[in-house]
Structure 1
Amino acid sequence: MFFNFRKCVNIITLTVRKSHSIKRFTHRKTDLTKVTYNVQRQNFNELQQKHIDFFRKLLGEHRAVMGVSNLEKYNEDWINNLKGSSAIVLKPKSTEEVSHILSFCNDNNLAVCPQGGNTGLVGGQLPVFDEIVISTELMNEIISLDDNSGVVVCQAGCVLESIDNILAEKGLMVPLDLGAKGSCHIGGNVSTNAGGLRLLRYGNLHGNVLGLEVVKANGEILDCLSTLKKDNTGYHLKHLFIGSEGTLGFVTKVAMQCPPRSKHTNVAFLGTQNFGKVLKTFKKAKQDLGEILSAVEVIDSSTMEFIDEKLNIKSPIGEYPFYLLIETSGSNESHDTEKLNTFLETALNKHFILNGIVASEPAKINTIWSIREKIPEGFKLCGAVFCYDVSLPLEHYFTLVDDMNIYMGNLSEKVFGFGHLGDGNLHLQIEMKEFSKEVKDHIEPYIFKRIKDLGGSISAEHGMGFLKAPYLDIARPQSAIKLMRDLKILFDPKGILNPYKVLPWRIF
């Protein structure tokens, strides 16, 4: 049999331990976003002492945070590509406090930037100028959990992994799993309509969020916090805010349906000869594994080389052009294991796959998953990295990676791709020795036009944010953009909610 299980897991465990001990995470100097991208500030008022006095009276000094050193983590993204210049971060604990803040900011024409765990890749969570950052980090209460219906209601600042840990005690799980689960907030997940690792099985948040509580720009609290799985009383207003990235309203509470936690999980890590074999393996997996298939991730050889170089994490099965991570989860161990083994034997006999390992114990499953989940940690060790989160038809999934390798030539250090094959979501990275606005301009809008030509979407799960907003007209027809603008004006007439995001902020 081809599964050299014990040896391979030991290899992974050793390399992951080494990556934890790395102290080389550099903090390169980041220029202000407004300077790098030559953004024109909109006509908002600047923060004055009377505004500070109001916020401190409402929240107290400890929850109205000021000072350059205190604000650094709220002004910069985690890969040091963007930097705002907010002078104050507000930390409300309740919906009512958010309401008072937004009402005051709207009356005083002060722009605000909602922020959760600051894990985004396109700058939707960061100020561009001096917007007032409203952080949800203290809005972290689980309000209710009905283990009969499987519905949880929580505040927007609850960390995804913390929710999942609480649900686990009731035999439930969050229908969303991300590499950033230990720091991202559910409000931010909702605001970007996050997909994650198991969308193939559980779908995105549009299908799992039952209700929302949202504060509008003028401070009005909009209660759409239904916990019913069927509720067709009028327009489904909650869907306007899922994926709107804080530009239409501030999400304060979330009601979400949560499926039962699987009793048995298997993970297979496989090597394949080419992408054609990857697709054949994926198709066979859907046919043979059916209802127990929960995730299918793909990694190319350049990505594996990248994490070996940056994090000393090696492939546990040797070198192959492509790698697949396939997860099954169900309620019957013998049934699930038999189905998986049958699938793997068939895939091997048909030469769809060349080698692999399988794990069923939780610690070993986590070790294999860490190969995929730790990839973004390597971004911090690059001089710079341009990250593109896109969706593509499966037949063109890696066409974009090949095209960009040719297009970049010797301008980049490495072009590599990985992602959620199960839903067509590719994460394409271009590694650079240092950040270059000229090279970024060379990449864009070429890459976005190429994605459209291939029948894809320029944003799969991270939203448009700041970085992709100028290219909305590539992705959407003018009639759709006009309607989006009309909705923005209706919900936020003064434009104070997360300006410079989603809708284009410059003219080509």
Structure 2
Amino acid sequence: MLNTIRLLVQCQNKQYVLEQIRCASQVLPQLSAEKYNVKRKDFATVQSSDVNFFKTILGNERVLTDDNDVTPFNIDWIKNCRGQSKVVLKPKSTQEVSQILSYCNEKKLAVCPQGGNTGLVGGSVPVFDEVVLNLMLMNNIVSLDEISGALICEAGCVLENVDNYVRERNLIMPLDLGAKGTCQVGGNVSTNAGGLRLLRYGNLHGSILGVEAVKADGIIIDCLKTLKKDNTGYHLKHLFIGSEGTLGVVTKVAIHCPVLPKAVTVGFFGVENFENILQLYKSAKSSLGEILSAFEMADRDAISSTVKNLNLPNPISDYPFYVLVETHGSDEGHDGEKLNRFLSKEMESGLILDGTVTSEPGKMQTIWNLRENIAGAGLRHGYVFKYDVSLPQKHYYELVPKIKQRLGDKAIVVCGYGHIGDGNIHINVTVPEYTREVAGLLEPYVFEEVSALQGSISAEHGVGFRKPHYIHYSKDRSALQLMHQLKTLMDPNGILNPYKVLPEEC
């Protein structure tokens, strides 16, 4: 018999959980330049005359120069990277962004575009003294066509706020992330974020109808069409999607929002081994078909981390692996029956050891909290090396036991979790503290293993600051040369997000 959920989450407010994680340690991380031995490029340094110019555009309140005010913008949320910026700018319009970039390009001042700063590869914080261009005040929803589902919003809109807005109008954002209460749409587009429901709604770049972006020289590129079909010339919007602010700063986004599902059901169940998870996924695609929106997995250590460190309840017993299945459809009775039938069948087959199914919003959130908070839970007890890679599904989990064996007692926890449907696994390695010894055991070993299995070293979090010198494991020399040529063409002075994405030589 299927169990019903007996426990409610003790902390359903994800923003509170995130803030709890952020405040877990007040110790400042080591400067990125020192930690990773990076040499500063030949950019100008910010002078008082530059600050005064920025104030003529933004006013005093939107130009931050006090160390206490600037410090939070220098540090990524997992406290791995720390920059040395002396000034943070908060524009409210595309025109202000244009003026700022035009000036910085002329003066050769490096710029670090920044959204919600929820990334895991250091792409949204400075390395040295780059000017931080934070878009949080560009947070207006411009328009929504409720017939076509075409939404236009500014880059600083928080994903969850936009999702709530369109839900009130019977639509849904195609992207859903654990960090949706903090991350911003511009950052999502700039990193081509993947998310939890890619299985149903596809890659983000497929949902983007158009973008507005500002080049390094301040020129505004208007590709903000809302048409589903616009086959005129080059698809310029794709230059900015996933370029992580190195080719231009995304200021507005047009995105297609699907119809809000009338019925949502979540199943959570325990599985004996990873081979059974693959069989279960194959069965789910066949049994659930078009209503399958998410198929997530997590091993015992990943779920135990959220249960213990964040005091979240697990609605079923302890198992080696867990699978979370979500369906989106139009008929609750029909969809629930299909999911219950699927689970009953696979419990009889032995692929599922125990499980629960629910359509109650609070209980569904209880289950999703376990999955969505894995990324932050490990931060409570040490330093976490985080790897976001994609692999052929038959090799999906192979790297986790290899890393455990390689590190031995040097690691507190090595766990794997992620999106089975698109082959994206997240591997967290928790150690007491960062050491070059452990870093040397992990890198480039992890990326060599991924490359040998024909995978990608970055599945959905981008390359950022942490991975440029490993990008050759996923991109060949000809592709890297073309990327360098595009960068030179669009940002000849190299002021946009330097030290990120591209290696120095290829």
Alignment TM class, shorter chain as reference: over 0.9
Q: Determine if the alignment matches structure 1 residue 110 to structure 2 residue 106.
A: no
Partner of residue 129, structure 1: 128
* Deviating 4+ runs (over 6 angstroms): 15-19, 21-24
Q: C-alpha separation between the residues in 2 aligned to 1:504 and 1:296?
A: 34
**Comparing 436-445 and 354-363, the one that deviates more:** 436-445
SS in structure 2 of the partner of residue 9 of structure 1: coil
The Cα shift of 1:437 comes to 2.8
Q: Determine if the alignment matches structure 1 residue 9 to structure 2 residue 6.
A: yes
The Cα shift of 1:112 comes to 0.0
SS in structure 1 of the partner of residue 28 of structure 2: coil
Alignment of 1:10-89 (within 5 A): 10=7, 12-14=8-10, 25-89=24-88
Partner of residue 501, structure 1: 500
Partner of residue 457, structure 1: 456
The Cα shift of 1:344 comes to 1.1
Say whether the 8 Å CA contact 2:115–2:186 is kept in structure 1.
yes
Alignment of 1:319-398 (within 5 A): 319-398=318-397
Partner of residue 211, structure 1: 210
Size of the aligned set, in residue pairs, is 503
SS in structure 2 of the partner of residue 497 of structure 1: coil
Q: C-alpha separation between the residues in 1 aligned to 2:36 and 2:150?
A: 43
SS in structure 1 of the partner of residue 282 of structure 2: helix
Alignment of 1:66-465 (within 5 A): 66-465=65-464
Q: C-alpha separation between the residues in 2 aligned to 1:122 and 1:270?
A: 31
The Cα shift of 1:442 comes to 2.2
The Cα shift of 1:22 comes to 6.5
The Cα shift of 1:402 comes to 1.1
CA displacement 1:448-488 (0-9 Å, x = unmatched): 01001111100000000000111111221111100000000
SS in structure 2 of the partner of residue 154 of structure 1: strand
Unmatched 5+ stretches in structure 1:
none
One-letter identity of the residue aligned with 1:179: G
The Cα shift of 1:13 comes to 2.5
CA displacement 1:76-98 (0-9 Å, x = unmatched): 01111110010000000000000
With over 3 angstroms needed to count, the CA separation of the structure-2 counterparts of 1:93 and 1:16, relative to structure 1, is: closer
**Comparing 380-389 and 104-113, the one that deviates more:** 380-389
Say whether the 8 Å CA contact 2:340–2:357 is kept in structure 1.
no
SS in structure 2 of the partner of residue 61 of structure 1: coil
CA displacement 1:27-69 (0-9 Å, x = unmatched): 2331110011110111100001111110011100111111111
The Cα shift of 1:17 comes to 9.0
Say whether the 8 Å CA contact 1:39–1:506 is kept in structure 2.
no
Q: C-alpha separation between the residues in 1 aligned to 2:431 and 2:270?
A: 28
One-letter identity of the residue aligned with 1:79: I
Q: C-alpha separation between the residues in 1 aligned to 2:213 and 2:310?
A: 41
CA displacement 1:380-431 (0-9 Å, x = unmatched): 3132000001101111111011111111112211110101111111010000
Say whether the 8 Å CA contact 1:299–1:322 is kept in structure 2.
yes
The Cα shift of 1:506 comes to 7.6
Q: C-alpha separation between the residues in 1 aligned to 2:306 and 2:154?
A: 35
CA displacement 1:263-288 (0-9 Å, x = unmatched): 11110001011111111111100001
Q: C-alpha separation between the residues in 1 aligned to 2:122 and 2:13?
A: 31
Q: C-alpha separation between the residues in 2 aligned to 1:379 and 1:93?
A: 36
What is the root-mean-square deviation in Å for CA atoms of aligned residues? 1.6
SS in structure 2 of the partner of residue 470 of structure 1: helix
One-letter identity of the residue aligned with 1:384: Y
With over 3 angstroms needed to count, the CA separation of the structure-2 counterparts of 1:437 and 1:29, relative to structure 1, is: farther
CA displacement 1:201-235 (0-9 Å, x = unmatched): 00111100000001000000001001000000000
CA displacement 1:351-383 (0-9 Å, x = unmatched): 111100111011111111111112123133132
With over 3 angstroms needed to count, the CA separation of the structure-2 counterparts of 1:506 and 1:407, relative to structure 1, is: farther
Q: C-alpha separation between the residues in 1 aligned to 2:270 and 2:246?
A: 43
State the TM-score, normalized to the length of structure 1: 0.96
With over 3 angstroms needed to count, the CA separation of the structure-2 counterparts of 1:193 and 1:22, relative to structure 1, is: closer
**Comparing 302-311 and 314-323, the one that deviates more:** 302-311
Say whether the 8 Å CA contact 1:16–1:313 is kept in structure 2.
no
Say whether the 8 Å CA contact 1:139–1:155 is kept in structure 2.
yes
Q: C-alpha separation between the residues in 1 aligned to 2:413 and 2:32?
A: 25
The Cα shift of 1:14 comes to 4.3
Say whether the 8 Å CA contact 1:464–1:502 is kept in structure 2.
yes
Q: C-alpha separation between the residues in 2 aligned to 1:436 and 1:314?
A: 33
One-letter identity of the residue aligned with 1:305: S
Q: C-alpha separation between the residues in 2 aligned to 1:364 and 1:348?
A: 21
Say whether the 8 Å CA contact 2:150–2:254 is kept in structure 1.
yes
Say whether the 8 Å CA contact 2:10–2:311 is kept in structure 1.
no
Q: C-alpha separation between the residues in 2 aligned to 1:122 and 1:505?
A: 17
